[in-house]
Amino acid sequence: MPVAAAPRTPHAPDADEVPQRKLYRSADGRMLGGVARGLAGHLGLPVGWVRLAFLLLFMWGDGLGVLLYAAFWVFVPLGVGGRTGHRSFFETLPDGTRRLRKPDRGQITALIALFIGAGIFISKVQMGGASGRYVWPTLLVGAGVVLVWRQADNARRAHWSTAAGRHGRLFQVARALAGVALVGVGLTVFIVVRGSAAQLGNVLTATLAVLVGVALLAGPWLIRMTQDLSEERLMRIRAQERAEVAAHVHDSVLHTLTLIQRNAEDVSEVRRLARAQERELRNWLYKPEGTGKDEAEEPATLAEAVKKTAAEVEDHHGVPIEVVVVGDCPLDERLAAQIQAAREAMVNAAKYGGEGGPVQVYAEVEGQTVFVSVRDRGPGFDIDAVPGDRMGVRESIIGRMQRNGGTARLRSAPDGGTEVELEMERAANTA
């Protein structure tokens, strides 16, 4: 299928960007063990060429191709990639029906080459001759081994992908059994050919006896070993988890408690430490990935940005800030400006209105509009009475919003607290 290994475009998705060029066997789109496709991916050659090379080596190199292939199969680990897109024997037509995919030219060529090769091989070996007697059993055994080995590959691949359905599993078992049967038949034929048919019964009995003996001796030990192995793995996972929790608690909670003991007189400092710790622990407990620690990362979405900003202001000014976010969207330039304005509002609220209780921040994304409200329950102030040279509210909040195409409203009542409402349309190009 040379089509699949078309020249690589620099912007193709990850399948083409191999970070370190390590040789893997390809699990996708393989015919046997994925050796040829893996090699092709590694060398940057069309997979058809590699396959042809193996075939030629097989036919005229006295079976060297088979040996090489087998060696690669055994020693190269199975990997992903080496193929773009999924192909099956069926294709879905635009009207929704499925039909057999037309085989492409490369496939047909490969098949023809295979048949020709097989023909040459068969004609070269004299079937009736003395050596020919061994050829068939060897082929049988080979086929059986290939089947079983491919089976092992599939088992490994099943680890990565989601579990195959019932149907798939049955098929796998059938294939493994077929492989074993092939090997068995091949070996039996070997023995029969070497000796005489009369001895078949004796040989079979002896083999059976040896097998049963080995099973009896080694069976319990094998079972015990696999059980121990899985149990050990479980214990290790548990220990790892516990270690992680312990490390986190040690790094953050114990550390903070020590700080609190040392600063017991400074109420606001104690409160600040406790709040920060509570926030971090919550993050860590309720976020699926346990990503509480990477605070250095710049937030990519509005919700993250609002929470991060609130956390920073809270840490800085020691006033609790309650954040409620409804909906979310990616952050763009305008929203970044809105967040800046909101930060200014939060700082003001924390500075002047912090005594009245927690500052409340509410952000909502509704369609294209993003609304942020910052509210405190402080003494409030008269915005018209603020002298003209005080630029905090006028420039940092109202001016910034207007420059970026948004609006800001301020409502403040004596004893009623202050509320800042910021409204901004999202940039049109962000989907």
Partner 1 sequence: MTEAGGSAGVGETRRVRVVLVDDHRMFRTGVQAEIGETGRTGVEVVGEAADVDQAVAVITATRPEVVLLDVHLPGGGGVEVLRRCAPLMAAAENPVRFLALSVSDAAEDVIGVIRGGARGYVTKTITGTDLVDSVFRVQDGDAVFSPRLAGFVLDAFASTDAPPVDEDLDRLTQREREVLRLIARGYAYKEIAKQLFISVKTVESHVSAVLRKLQLSNRHELTRWATARRLV
- Interface contacts to partner 1, rule CB under 8 A: 282, 286, 322, 324-327, 357, 360, 362, 364, 366, 373, 375, 377, 419
State the nearest-atom distance from the C-beta of 309 to partner 1, in Å.
Answer: 17
Biggest CA pair distance of the chain: 116
Q: How far apart are the first and last CA of the chain?
A: 38
State the nearest-atom distance from the C-beta of 286 to partner 1, in Å.
Answer: 5
Bridge-partner residues for 369, per DSSP? 366, 425
Nearer to partner 1, 30 or 272 (CB): 272
Which residues, 6+ apart, have CB-to-CB distance to 401 below 8 Å?
A: 337, 338, 341, 407, 408, 422, 423, 424
Bridge-partner residues for 365, per DSSP? 370
Indicate the DSSP class of residue 5: G
- The Cα 22–Cα 36 span in angstroms is 14
- The Cα 25–Cα 65 span in angstroms is 16
Nearer to partner 1, 87 or 411 (CB): 411
- The Cα 415–Cα 187 span in angstroms is 96
Nearer to partner 1, 255 or 282 (CB): 282
State the nearest-atom distance from the C-beta of 375 to partner 1, in Å.
Answer: 5
State the nearest-atom distance from the C-beta of 423 to partner 1, in Å.
Answer: 13
Nearer to partner 1, 140 or 347 (CB): 347
Nearer to partner 1, 363 or 401 (CB): 363
Q: Contact at 8 Å (CB) between 335 and 299? A: no
- The Cα 298–Cα 331 span in angstroms is 11
Q: In what order do the strands lie in the sheet with 417-425?
A: 321-326, 359-366, 369-376, 417-425, 407-413
State the nearest-atom distance from the C-beta of 305 to partner 1, in Å.
Answer: 16
Nearer to partner 1, 377 or 400 (CB): 377
